[in-house]
Structure 1
């Protein structure tokens, strides 16, 4: 397995974990007061948008050749860091 494939597999695996957690948060938000629910849904929506943007980066990496992916990796790692921080912020909203 190439480094690019390992990178993509790791990212996809973590995204799957986060998607499952987001689904639980979404269900939990439905049980909250209207104001709290709106706040939670907004944060969930923002995170889902970031996930979608990151998935676009992953697709770009998949389409590049082995050498060119290194150029995209740095941007993907920065986006991943931002996404990770956003997920942590979402978790703090629910706990």
Structure 2
């Protein structure tokens, strides 16, 4: 397995994990009181935006040539870190 394929698999696995985490937060939001539901919704909306950005970064990596994909990797890594931080913050706040 080459580096690009391994990286793509790692990113896909993490995206799947984040999607499941967002679903869990949405379930908690439905159980929360009205005021808390607003906060949950705002946080979940932000997480979804970040997840969508991460998916676009992954698409760029996947479509890049064997030589060029490493250039996209830097941007994807930054988006990855931002998503990780946002997810941790959401779980610390609501989890």
Q: Give, in whole Å, the separation in 1 of the partners of 2:49 and 2:38.
A: 16
Task: Report the equivalent of 2:87.
Answer: 87
Q: What's the TM-score once normalised by structure 2's chain length?
A: 0.95
Provide TM-score, normalisation by structure 1.
0.95
* Cα shift readout 1:19-69 (whole Å, capped 9, x = no counterpart): 112111101111111111110111011011110011011101111101100
Structure 1 residues without counterparts, runs of 5 or longer: none
RMSD: 0.9
Q: How does 1:14-93 map to 2 (within 5 A)?
A: 14-93=14-93
Structure 2 unmatched ranges of 5 or more: none
Would you say how many aligned residue pairs link Structure 1 and Structure 2? 95
Moved over 4 A (4+): none
